[in-house]
A and B are shown apart, each in its own frame.
Chain A
């Protein structure tokens, strides 16, 4: 099985989804909308990546899913962070911060 080139992106997408779910349960569509809105359109999530990411996070036990009713009264699958999801978010956020700081230092270096 060939390794996907989206590994790095996937990692970031996981972090983003975890962060968004920290504010409360959301369904997949709301998450894609939030990413567009919060990133002011800079990040446009490939829809085809969102659902695999959610399944992956679910399989890891970081989020759990249940069927619920959406704002416009439709049946939608809602995701929320589990306790290990919270821990994972903290860990990933910290490692991202470290990475970003290091990258910043390298870019400023002349």
Chain B
């Protein structure tokens, strides 16, 4: 068997040599025969002639000998392939169009598969037997407020799970802290830290690349402050220098000694990579948790992961964990958590039980949309191939009559589809290399940038995509070719009737139109949401304002020391030429909100809003103007508003309207704090409402107090309004921060950077649905154009007869356009139904747009019909130009 394989393989690889062998051998035979004839007394010329005649047809002998040694099917495939390539070369527009369609279709699918794979399917690198690792979640039912499932847990809960759940082989506690300061002064940089209990590494099966990992003696109160770097961080920031082991690094408030480097490829088990690991006890003591956190059942600051014992069912483990959890929370008296349930989720954080994050949802949706685009593309290509196959009926019939057989024709057409899909697939991988980078930066912004864009699984997916598209686009034409009436094709002069394949073609057009409509409606809904969200009046002007913040508490400063630093910096900032104005604040938009009991003159209680409050913000004079908040009436704080000058406040518009409806707010008194005897804080100004928690929050009760009159504020940020663009200014601000010396790393960002992520899921939905929808529209338009053009060329004779019988141009145009419109209308009805289903499905991702928005639906239908009309008009116009005499002579 093996020998036989080798002979055939050799014949394939060394075709030339094998051919030469045969030629030589046959020549030898002829020469032997000739020689024998000569030996018997024949003249040499006659001898050669006789020998040749006796030998028979050399070509046939050769052909048959060759058959014996090559794989028959392979040889045929080669021929078919050559034929397919030649045929495709002869119609370059068709070929390029199809390859581009496939490249885009498969490319966006490969890209999206990469994203979905990273989020939902792939296990984090380096983890042993990840299938047995479970993330622990707690599901709490708050009745009317809803059901919440979260990963947050208290430290005692971690101990309960670790010690009282037999189904868990190991349990580890993890707390992720982003933006921790590494180093001091000008060298300071932000790193992502995971503080973990010592079981974390053994549980995941992680071995150090260098040095060692944590021991249980380090993971306890008062334990040594040690750190393990991830391989990537070690490589990128320490140039793989092994002397980093033993070095003391200032991390946050503490100083930690590096004891080991993690294995290559391991960056923790979350999508967002980790730079370094610390043992959870010392890290918590230093600054990663409130001081009382380790022992408290009230502070949720960690999450827990567990490895299940082999052959324990997940349900059993979850039930045991629920028992342990409830017993734990009840050990300190009654708790509303006594009905909570423990849920176990897989190691991929996106596959958490309960509500999916809206980014994950959007990623899944884009994946679905990408698949739909590919389907539309396939329907279109299948249509083009059908048209092509019918146009080539005569050629195919000739091939069939020469003995190609129906099987041969089917094979040929499938092969053509395969060649096109393969070319598309190769282009798709190239596309995905580039698009993957873009897609991930949008969809997985926290993924380390050096993660590969295209790896084995994406390539496998692409191969599957090529096979699928081949099947989807090649089968219909192939089946039709297999059924074709060959004799008719030959006799009919190569022109079929409109009926042939017409049903399939129309059906494919209908599918395209329907799916395109669904995508465009999705695009419309997302664009509407985005526009509504972008149109939200933030109440402040985010364009030219930078915020500068530092973690001074982590750097070991007291509140008043920190405030002094901020005020000193503020002073320096205000003298910079590029700065228009600047102010500091306790409480920031989209950051921390402060609340205290407050009483208003003339009211028993404050209005009860869903958003809570009233909230207050402590600011220096000029904050209102720095943020670009409109001052509606009254005045801003001034340098004269100090202790002893009479306490003042500025209230937001909603505050003024709801607290003193119909009355003047300025001059009224607020009484701050629990103590009813506090002095009057007089309202001196009314400012426009500014968003507080998130851009989509409803207006809330907000008032401002002057920094100089408040005893214990903690400044959180300096806000700086740039004179021109903010781009050049942040560098200047950072130099100021660094020149002060001994300040930690400062985060300097435009406040628009805090707005953008909040609009992200709509922006993503809007841009991808729009891009894919327009692509689908283009594909559908070319499909209609191609099919109608073909139909017209097939019906030349018929149209000629009609014109000869007195049909007007308008009639012909109406006839051809009508064919396209009919398909479009059916597609519109089906697509409309699909769009309603889609709207319901994505309703939770929309903002202030009804899931079945008649305006969007109507607009899309009109657009689509206009495009269909335009695509149909060109072939119709051509049809109307057909002169009957020429058309009738054409046969």
Contacts and interface: CB of A to CB of B under 8 A. Distances in A.
Interface string B15-31: 00000011011101101
Given A28-B29, A47-B61, A51-B25, A82 B3 contact: yes
A42 B847 CA distance: 95
B25 A52 contact: no
Contacts of A54: 65
Interface stretch (A69-77, A89-97, A100-108): A69-77
Contact of B54 (A47, A75, A82): A47
Contact of B3 (A32, A46, A84): A84
B844 interface: no
Contact of B25 (A48, A77, A82, A84): A77
A76 B3 contact: no
B35 A48 contact: no
B55 to A, nearest CB: 5
A55 B65 contact: yes
Interface residues of A, number: 30
Interface stretch (B66-74, B432-440, B696-704): B66-74
Interface string B42-72: 0000000000001111001100111111001
Contact-size category for B: 20 to 34
B866 interface: no
Contacts of A55: 22, 65-66, 68-69
A45 to B, nearest CB: 11
Contacts of B69: 55-56, 58-59
A47 B55 contact: yes
B32 interface: yes
A32 to B, nearest CB: 8
A49 B704 CA distance: 105
B451 interface: no
B72 to A, nearest CB: 7
Contact of B61 (A52, A58, A82): A52
B7 interface: yes
B33 A29 contact: yes
Q: Could you say which of B54, B64, B69 has the most chain A C-beta atoms within 10 Å of its C-beta?
A: B64
B67 A52 contact: yes
Contacts of A65: 21
A52 B63 CA distance: 9
B56 A46 contact: yes
Contacts of A32: 29
Given A52-B67, A55-B69, A60-B4, A28 B61 contact: no
B4 A1 contact: no
Interface string A17-45: 00000000001110010000000000000
A62 to B, nearest CB: 9
A49 B7 CA distance: 20
Given A48-B55, A48-B64, A52-B68, A59 B25 contact: no
Nearest to B22: A51
B57 A74 contact: no
A84 B7 CA distance: 15
A51 B26 contact: yes
B7 A58 contact: yes
Q: Could you say which of B3, B56, B60, B61 has the most chain A C-beta atoms within 10 Å of its C-beta?
A: B3
Nearest to B76: A1
B532 interface: no
B1 interface: yes
A5 to B, nearest CB: 13
A61 interface: yes
Contacts of A49: 61, 64
B57 A48 contact: yes
Contact of A61 (B4, B33, B57, B60): B4
Contacts of A72: 35
B8 interface: yes
Contact of B28 (A59, A64, A70): A70
B400 to A, nearest CB: 15
Given A46-B56, A61-B3, A61-B7, A77 B61 contact: no
Contacts of A58: 7, 68-69
Contacts of B60: 48
A52 B64 contact: yes
A29 B55 CA distance: 11
A29 B29 contact: yes
Contacts of A70: 28, 32
A28 B23 CA distance: 13
A109 to B, nearest CB: 38
Contacts of A67: 21
Contacts of B61: 47-49, 51-52
Interface in B85-139: none
Nearest to B29: A29
B88 to A, nearest CB: 26
A20 to B, nearest CB: 16
Contact of B24 (A56, A75, A82): A75
Contact of B32 (A29, A46, A60): A29
Contacts of B26: 51
Nearest to A55: B68
A10 to B, nearest CB: 10
A53 B25 CA distance: 14
Nearest to A53: B68
A29 B244 CA distance: 80
Given A52-B61, A55-B65, A59-B68, A47 B4 contact: no
A53 B66 CA distance: 11
A51 B65 contact: yes
B69 to A, nearest CB: 5
Nearest to A61: B3
A47 B52 CA distance: 11
Contacts of B1: 61
B248 to A, nearest CB: 71
B605 to A, nearest CB: 95
Given A48-B55, A52-B65, A55-B65, A1 B72 contact: yes
Contacts of A56: 68-69
21 contacts: A29-B29, A29-B32, A46-B56, A47-B55, A48-B55, A48-B61, A51-B65, A52-B64, A53-B68, A55-B68, A55-B69, A58-B7, A58-B68, A59-B7, A59-B69, A61-B3, A64-B3, A74-B31, A75-B24, A75-B28, A77-B21
Given A29-B28, A49-B61, A58-B68, 8 more contacts: A1-B72, A48-B56, A52-B67, A55-B66, A56-B69, A59-B4, A70-B28, A82-B3
Interface of A: 1, 27-29, 32, 46-49, 51-56, 58-61, 64-65, 67, 70, 72, 74-77, 82, 84
Interface of B: 1-4, 7-8, 11, 21-22, 24-26, 28-29, 31-33, 35, 54-57, 60-61, 64-69, 72
The 3 A-B pairs of least Cβ separation, nearest first, read A61-B3, A48-B61, A55-B68
